[in-house]
Amino acid sequence: TAIRTPLIAGNWKMYKTGTQAVAAAKQLADLSKGAQGVDIMIAPTALSLPLVAAALGENSPVRLGAQNIYPGKEGAFTGEVSGEMIRDAGADYVIIGHSERRQYFGETDEIVGFKIRAALDAGLIPVMCIGETESQREADKTFFILDKQISDGLKGFDLKELDSLILAYEPVWAIGTGKTAGPEQVKEVHGFLRTLLKEKYAEDLAAKIRILYGGSVKPGNIKDLMQLEDVDGALVGGASLNPEDFNKIIRF
Ligand code: PEP
């Protein structure tokens, strides 16, 4: 993992007003001072991005991400936010294809692909979320589903374009449930994903892409997860809302 700087990312979902987001981000910036060898990202609502960006300042080690993006440059798409707008608001990253968006907003692998394209066009780093549901795991379809999400989501991209891509493996049954996938399960899936990237693309790209784990990550389980060879960080929901907890996770 030496060539991959770990990334700890916090997905704040639809929590925190702008005022609350600014306060939490400032507290996190303070607490996380001096943390070495780790990239840090938080994703507040799009509405809070400019406020938090201004509060943190341009050179803060705490970087920002959006939780979603519209797959188009601009236009008559009421209620949507483009990559350029996200970039201009001060974010470097964007989370794409989160299971909540797949589940509640009909996001398909094809849409995920369009959104990754839009992110790259805007100079944003896409954090592509994939993961199986509980019933898919029980039916032994985990690898099949992950393969499909990657193949269909990344259809048409060439090697060079995927240089900045980050993958987040988030078993749907472990998100917000308090159930973390066990180290054996995580190790198995992350190993599978690394091999898949190697076979589909190239060895050096596979070695470069960071694969995050997500699903009930907490201060108490981050250490064991980060010890696994192919785990290059975490995407954290619930525990990222509390700056003290998130700071402990950053310092795995
Ligand atoms: C998430 O939403 O990406 C997530 C992993 O949530 P939680 O940490 O709350 O399970």
Helix, coil or strand: residue 24: helix
75 is in an annotated binding site: no
ipTM of the complex: 0.95
User: What is the per-residue pLDDT for 2?
Assistant: 53
Q: Provide the residue ranges of all domains of the chain, joining segments of one domain with +.
A: 7-250
Q: pLDDT in tens for each of the 252 residues of the chain?
A: 458 999 999 999 999 999 999 999 999 999 999 999 999 999 999 999 999 999 999 999 999 999 999 999 999 999 999 999 999 999 999 999 999 999 999 999 999 999 999 999 999 999 999 999 999 999 999 999 999 999 999 999 988 899 999 999 999 999 888 888 899 999 999 999 999 999 999 999 999 999 999 999 999 999 999 999 999 999 999 999 999 999 999 999
53: Cβ contacts below 8 Å, ≥ 6 apart: 64, 89, 90, 91
pLDDT at site 145 = 98
Ligand 1 centre and the CA of 131: distance in Å? 12
Give 157 Cα–ligand 1 centroid separation in angstroms. 27
Strands (E), the chain: 7-11, 39-43, 62-66, 93-96, 125-130, 166-169, 210-214, 233-236
Structural tokens at position 144: 């099949």
Does domain 7-250 sit in CATH 3.20.20.70? yes
Q: Is the CB of 97 under 6 A from ligand 1?
A: no
Whether ligand 1 lies within 6 angstroms of the CB of 171 is answered as no
pLDDT of residue 1: 45
Q: Whose C-alpha lies nearest to ligand 1, atom 1?
A: 237
Asked if residue 216 has its Cβ within 6 Å of ligand 1, the reply is yes
Q: Ligand 1 centroid vs 14 CA: distance in angstroms?
A: 12
